[in-house]
Amino acid sequence: MMSYKVDFKDVSTVGLESSPVAEALAGLRANEARYYWNKYKHEFVTVPAAEDPDTLKWIETVLAERDMHFGYKPLETTSFEVDGLKMAYVFYENGLAVNVMYSIDPSGKRAVGFKLSDGIEIPTEFEGKFKFARQKSKLAGTIRGSFFVIKGEY
């Protein structure tokens, strides 16, 4: 597997080169890596989505709970456990990042998060369904994000 340890000090588009917003998407990915390093001392390592079909399938299964299916090309994925949470990410070519936070404890938090890279339009799948909050990031510019709470068991 060709893995990439995301560097949040020297942001790189490695693995994201085919994205029309590669720089912004790389900044978004680096922003996530910085968060996990600062909070959990976890190294954020991604792999090409084609090399990790299980993570992609799990995320798509959870998204189906809200009848959400994306036709975008998945570029990278990652999955890991920290602090009792199973985390999974997919970074899409259009600049969308989807993450699933799934507490191993059934009474814990479980949600799907959506983040849009700086400069991309809100995809049509989200129009009228989600409100996006804005967040400023030194690494990623303006990130817009939203989420939904997971109801099912996965």
Q: How many C-beta atoms surround the C-beta of residue 134 within 10 A?
A: 9
Q: pTM value? A: 0.96
* Terminal alpha carbon distance of the chain: 25
Give the Cα separation of 113 and 66 in Å (integer): 13
Judged against a pLDDT cut of 90, whether residue 1 lies above it is answered with no
pLDDT of residue 113: 98
Q: What is the pLDDT of residues 81-116, one digit of tens each?
A: 999 999 999 999 999 999 999 999 999 999 999 999
pLDDT of residue 98: 98
Residue 152: DSSP 8-state:
S
Gyration radius of the chain's alpha carbons = 14
**What CA–CA distances, in Å, run from 25 to 30, 61, 114?**
9, 24, 13
Q: How many C-beta atoms surround the C-beta of residue 130 within 10 A?
A: 17
Q: What is the pLDDT of residues 71-90, one digit of tens each?
A: 999 999 999 999 999 999 99
Exposed, middle or buried: residue 35 (CB in 10 Å: 0-12, 13-18, 19+)? middle
Give the dihedral sign, CA 28/18/47/73.
positive
Give the Cα separation of 80 and 126 in Å (integer): 27
